Structures are given as C-alpha cells and as structure tokens.
Amino acid sequence: MEEISINLRELLFDAIRSKNFPKVREIFDTYPNIDIADSVNEIDPNDIESIHYLVYIFKIIKPAFSSEFFSELDTEIQEKLITFLTNEQVGILVQESANDELADFLEEWPANVVAKVLQNTKPDQRKVINQLLGYKDDTAGAIMTTEYITLFEDTKVKDALNTIRQVGKNVETIYTLFVRNKKFDLIGVLDLDDLVFAQSDEILGNVCNTAFQSVDVNTDEEEVAQIFKRYDLNAIAVLNEDKKLTGIITIDDIVDVIEKENTEDIEAMGKVAPLKDSYMDTPIFKLAMKCLPWLLILMVLSIGSIALQNQFQFLIGTLTAVSVFLTTICDTGGNSGSQSSTLVIRGLATHDFELNAKGFFTVLWKELRVAGIVASIAAVFTFGFCMFLFAVHIVEIPDTFVNVNAHGENLTLIWLSLAGSVSITLFITIVVSKILGVCMPFLVSKMKLDPAVVAGPVITTIMDLVSLSMYFAILLSAFTMFGWTLN
C-alpha cells in the first residue's frame, strides 16, 4: 500500500513538473481523492517545492475535485497551502467546501490562516461557519451540515425532482429531503425513492413521512449515532431551540463519530489518554505522558497487594507451595471481572438495557447466574488440577512442614486442604469479580463518566487485593482448623 502511495505521488508530481496538465486531470479522474491525498500526505509540510506542486493542482483541476482533495489532506499541509494560494483560489476553495468541514478545519488552523479563509468567504457562508463554531464539541450542532434540500409542502412531485436536478450536486445528500410549511416549520421528511415513485402532480405534504426523527443542536453525538442505528437512517434533521430546521447530519458524519468513540474507548480501556493526532504524528514524549498517569495510579493501587503479601510472608515462608497459586488466583479475578465489565459496557453503549435500577438488577442477576456456573466448573477443575500437581510432585510440600504438622503420615490431608483453599478462593473470586464487573460500569455511567475507564487494569488491580485477602484468610482458617504450626 505504501509503495502504491509513493508511485502515485511520483506520477502526480512528474506530470506537474512537465506541465502535463491533461495527465494531472486524468489522475484525478482515475484515482479516488482520498488515495491521492494519502500519497501526498507523506511529504514534509516545510518542503516548499512539493507545496508549490500542490498549489498547481488547484489551478488545474475542477473546484469540486480540488475541495474534496483538500479536505483529505493533513492539517499542516492544509495550512501551508492556504498561505500559498491566492485570495481568489481560497475563495473558490471555500465556496466549494462543505460548511461543517470548514468549521472543523478552522478550529485546527492558526489565527493567520483562519483570518485569510474568513476574509475570502462570502458573508452568508461566513455567518453559517461562525454559527457552527459556536456549538459545543461532541454535539449534533458541531457535526451538522447546512447544505441540504428543503421543499415546501405544497410543492408538486415533478417540481421537486426539477429542484433536485438543479441544486442536488451542491448539497450533502439528495437521498433524504426535508419538507416545511409556509411558517418554515419542519413537517416531514421524504426519501428520494418515495419521491421518484410518487405521482408527478401529487404535493409533497401528502407523500412525506410526518412521523420522522429529529435531534436538538445540543444532543450528544453518541446519542445521535444510536438514533441512526435504531431507525436505520441516512440523514436526520437538527432543530434549534425554536424547533426550526438548522442543519442535518448524514450517515458519513455518524461513521466518523463511531470511529472516534471506538478509538476513545480502546484508549480508555488500555489506560491511555486520548490522542489528538494520529499515533505516527504524536511525539514520543507526548506518548509517554499519555501513558504515565494511569500507570502511576495503578502502581499505587498495586502497592496494597504488595503490602498484603508482605503481611502474610510468615505464611508463605512456612508453606512455600502457597505462593505457587498466587498468580493464578489474581489473574482469574482480573480476567473474570474484565469479561463482565466489557459485556456491560457494550450493552450500555448499544442500549441493550437501560441505565437505571431495573437494568442494573436485571444484568446483575444474569451475571450472578453466569458466575455460579463458571465459578463451580473452575473450582472443581482447579481442585483436581492442584491434586494432580501434588501427586506428580510438580508442586512440592516441604518435608519440614510435613514432619512437624502431619508427622509424616497425613500428607494427603495437606494436599486436600491446600487444593481446597485454592478452589474455594477461586470460586469466591470469580463471583465477586463478576459482581464488580457489573457494578462499576453502572456506577461510573451514573456519574456521567466514560464506563470504559473502569475496564481491564483497574478491575484487575482491585481484584488482586480482594482475592489475595480471601486466599490468605481461607488458608489461615485451614491452619487453625488442623492445628498446623506457622513457625
């Protein structure tokens, strides 16, 4: 893929060097804009010669191609291009670009570049862009577009089709149309296929769908994505506080939202602060600082487990076989809790159950039954496996302990007690960890925080402390029951 990208860039730059402008146009007719943009995104933004080559592109190809190509370029290259393009070229580029994309670009660019863009933007478009920039991040208003087709309810079907032919190329989508009354209130939506198959003299008010979905400008983008999924939408209307149509969100906007949210969840589950840029574009020191805080927090939490093991060092020293099973017990607790929390987080994200008391107790009861089955099978298997390890002498009981406490004739009782302690601990650990895996996502979600932050390492660290406490408590009970000496 990288080799193809390099060859495409060389093909493009060779055509520009030789002033073979028909070849440049042919490249843009042949290859997708995103592939061409990816090929040139590898250049150094400070390579002025290469930037000049890119400037030529905006002189040669059609504005519709150049605006789409521009939108796929990296931010630093976009900034450089704006500084080298003439005011007239910037004006054409802005006019052909979608307002929501321009708003996103302006949030990233430095002040001098923003000033040049707004200076060459028509007043009506500048007003729309400024409006888009005023909405909160991660809301419907921030991701909506203002390029869409609205039609009046008394418009005939044949006239609506003519309108689409005239203006359809300049809007975000023609597959979902929005119908308003004379007061400019949104009264319905209309899919293109319904319009095509309707009678030509029928008015839109009679064929549009009046039971439509809409969102407020302040609706969270994740909630918008859920509405798209639930109702299988291509586009949705965005209304302002006065319930007037302000913009629309299309399915391609939602794909970007889903990708961003998935990335944030993956980073959160791995205990990495979200990256603003791509991994390759993020400096090494910044990457280190993204990872370090969570590692330090988890390290501090793990000190509790270390202190606990130190507190029971006398027990481990008396019967060294105790320490053999520590890793298994801790890992099982963390893994079991992470399994449950992952399922719960996914269920909350996909709205399989509601974030309320009913949803919580429904999930908790289900996971308790799952935990009972898993814990029982795991405990029985562990007991048998431990006995096998003792029998084949993979795990040895010290002779000194046997001579003092079993008088050399009751070794099997020691095996049974130790295997039983491990099995009981694992049973309790799995049940508790699954309860924790259910409770924490619900609790954190109620606190309006991302539930993904409780997954993986956090649950593992907490369960280490819990499982070790239970393990040592059960062992001490066994020692006391059989009168074994801890010296």
Q: How confident is the model at residue 20 (pLDDT cuts 50, 70, 90)?
A: confident
Greatest Cα-to-Cα distance within the chain, rounded to the nearest angstrom: 103
| pLDDT tens profile 116-162 | 887 788 877 777 776 777 778 788 888 888 788 889 999 999 999 99
Same domain, 122 and 154: no
Cβ within 8 Å of residue 208, ≥6 positions away: 153, 179, 187, 188, 189, 190
Residue 143 lies in a domain: no
Contact present, 248 and 172 (Cβ < 8 Å) = yes
What average pLDDT is seen over the chain? 80
Q: How confident is the model at residue 102 (pLDDT cuts 50, 70, 90)?
A: confident
Report how many domains make up the chain.
Answer: 3
Residue 139 lies in a domain: no
Contact present, 338 and 394 (Cβ < 8 Å) = no
Q: Buried b / exposed e across 111-144, counting CB within 10 Å, b at 16+?
A: eebbebbbebbeeebbebbebbeebeeebbbbbb
**Per-residue pLDDT at 189:** 93
Same domain, 226 and 323: no
**Per-residue pLDDT at 485:** 65
Contact present, 333 and 464 (Cβ < 8 Å) = yes
Return the SS3 of 452.
helix
CATH number of the CATH domain containing 309: 1.10.357.20
Q: Is the pLDDT of residue 271 over 80?
A: no
Question: Of the candidates 134, 168, 200, which is a domain's last residue?
Answer: 134
Q: How confident is the model at residue 206 (pLDDT cuts 50, 70, 90)?
A: very high
Q: Is the pLDDT of residue 5 over 70?
A: no
Q: How confident is the model at residue 188 (pLDDT cuts 50, 70, 90)?
A: very high
Same domain, 223 and 360: no
pTM comes to 0.52
Same domain, 69 and 195: no
| C-alpha to C-alpha distances, 320 to 62, 130, 397, 478, 485, nearest whole angstrom | 77, 70, 8, 15, 14
Query: What's the domain range around 239?
Result: 150-267
Q: What is the mean pLDDT of residues 377-406?
A: 79
Q: What is the mean pLDDT of residues 89-116?
A: 78
CA 29 to chain centroid, in Å, comes to 34
Residue with tokens 């889903």: 258
Q: What is d(CA 132, CA 87) in angstroms, rounded to the nearest whole number?
A: 23
DSSP classification of residue 410: -
**Per-residue pLDDT at 330:** 80
Pairing of strands 235-239, 245-250: antiparallel
Same domain, 394 and 468: yes
**Per-residue pLDDT at 314:** 64
Same domain, 127 and 161: no
Q: What is d(CA 114, CA 130) in angstroms, rounded to the nearest whole number?
A: 12
Q: How confident is the model at residue 454 (pLDDT cuts 50, 70, 90)?
A: low
**Per-residue pLDDT at 287:** 62
**Which of 29-38, 334-343, 345-354, 382-391 is predicted with the least confidence, judged by mean pLDDT?**
345-354
Same domain, 157 and 124: no
DSSP classification of residue 283: -
Residue 368 lies in a domain: yes
Same domain, 256 and 317: no
Same domain, 79 and 207: no
CATH number of the CATH domain containing 182: 3.10.580.10
Q: How confident is the model at residue 381 (pLDDT cuts 50, 70, 90)?
A: very high
Provide the strand spans (E) within 417-487.
none
Sign of the torsion formed by the C-alpha atoms of 121, 127, 128 and 132: positive
| C-alpha to C-alpha distances, 126 to 40, 101, 106, 315, 397, nearest whole angstrom | 29, 13, 12, 74, 80
Residue with tokens 């939202």: 257
Q: What is the mean pLDDT of residues 153-175?
A: 89
Same domain, 359 and 243: no
- The proportion of the chain whose per-residue pLDDT surpasses 70, expressed as a percent, equals 81
Q: What is the mean pLDDT of residues 371-398?
A: 87
Contact present, 261 and 137 (Cβ < 8 Å) = no
